[in-house]
Structure 1
């Protein structure tokens, strides 16, 4: 893994982790599905516009179209839509921790449904990761934990897990930024339908809302997705996923610094355990790749 790949991985992990804090700020002043659909409209138009200016087109390969549609629906609409809804009642740090279990769920699902063998290191990683999540949940049981919000987040992670296991080839065939932009627009369409069906849009204008919305559109929304596909194209999905072990750390630290969310000793220990579990799982899969 070269220096550029390391830089891309660190940048992705930091941007991805910050999205939960900015989302928490957004849903404090706007209904979640409406806000997220508008975010994807803005990000998608910007992404497609920049891609066209760079000479890219929407003549994508079949795997790219499949990735665009599946990820646009499962990742952008279902996964993030559910997380935005849940973050009305749960903290950004907890949402980031739950989202960070995605590599563990991918490894477990690949073993259960695709027949992928798990090495002893991978098994240890899964056990450690699950133990870390249980430790954090146990620490927050006395703090009025919203179980519905937690359940919604885990359903969202399941949707992202399915997308990760079923779609390949998004970074092959060129037009990478166009793929990213079109994914955003697919998510916008799906979330607009969900908004009409399930929500009465409402916005309370504020400077924190405006700043968080602009940041979310440009950084976690557009730039982080583009960086992720660049990283996957450079070192492969298995090695790229190793950087997910940083997400629990970044997620809770950013939420604590910007939102003042509580970070107790058991939270720190749990995050460390989860990160170790994710790293062990990814190293075990990397050795087989």
Structure 2
């Protein structure tokens, strides 16, 4: 991975880590339904403009069912769950819980393919569970009213991502669909699927310019631009190297929460995040490659 791609990777992690900051700012005022409807609609419009410029087709007649499935499990459901949890949990806790998605993916994949996981994966699962338990057990946010439900919602959101990942790997309907089309089509599908949530989660407050700015940033920056960066990295350095962003997201989630929301970062936050990231690396089989090591990974 050259310097340019490394900077893109760090920038992508910073963007995705900031999504929890923006949700913490906007969710208490807009509510989960309105906020996420804004997010996916802004992202869909942005990607539509990019698609027109790049002349990218969606082929809705052929792939609409695929877009609906992917839009539900990869966007609508996890976004709503994280936005609901953001009313109670800190950006730091949210970002660490989000990092457990690959761990859940290992479980879903094992069940789907009906095979036993390796000892390495089992150790990763145990570490991930221990890290989350340490984080939520010691963090003062766990004593808040509704914290248990919020933690369950955020965990279910990470689990939803793992279902989406498994689906795109094994489902016939997902094969042969261009990555940009996946991002673009799934956002329009998510915008449609999120509509019922507007009735379930009414808007509790009146938005300010800052609140709407956070919603716009969630859609355009954290969804639209982030997807373009991610798929570009997958193309340039390979999926395994691009997956490194999963390990960096919590670092930026904690950083932004500390800088802008003045969240308290205790030893348990750092230790819990480190344990979860280590568990995730074991589960995904990721191997650290130092700059002086020969790069044998196919791009």
- Under a length normalisation based on structure 2, what TM-score does the superposition of the two structures give? 0.84
- Taking the TM superposition and a 5 Å limit, the aligned residue runs for 1:63-78 are 67-78=66-77
- CA spacing shift, 1:284–1:142, aligned 2, 3 Å: closer
- Under a length normalisation based on structure 1, what TM-score does the superposition of the two structures give? 0.87
CA RMSD in angstroms, aligned pairs only: 2.9
* Structure 2 spans left out of the alignment, 5+ residues: 289-295
- Taking the TM superposition and a 5 Å limit, the aligned residue runs for 1:170-181 are 174=178, 176-181=179-184
* Structure 1 spans left out of the alignment, 5+ residues: none
Distance 1:230 1:61 in 2: 26
Distance 1:116 1:199 in 2: 40
- CA spacing shift, 1:170–1:14, aligned 2, 3 Å: farther
- Structure 1 segments of 4+ aligned residues over 4 angstroms from their partners: 1-5, 64-67, 169-174, 284-287
Could you tell me how far 1:91 is from its partner in structure 2?
1.5
Aligned residues: 286
Equivalent position SS for 2:196: helix
1:37 corresponding residue in structure 2? 37
For residues 29-68 of structure 1, what are the alpha-carbon distances to aligned partners after superposition, in whole Å with 9 as ceiling and x for unaligned? 2122112112211221121122112222223796x65653
Distance 2:247 2:75 in 1: 21
For residues 218-260 of structure 1, what are the alpha-carbon distances to aligned partners after superposition, in whole Å with 9 as ceiling and x for unaligned? 2112111222233334444444323311122221111111111
Contact kept? 1:106, 1:165, Cα under 8 Å: yes
Distance 2:135 2:186 in 1: 33
2:51 corresponding residue in structure 1? 51
- CA spacing shift, 1:281–1:2, aligned 2, 3 Å: farther
2:232 corresponding residue in structure 1? 230
Distance 1:232 1:217 in 2: 21
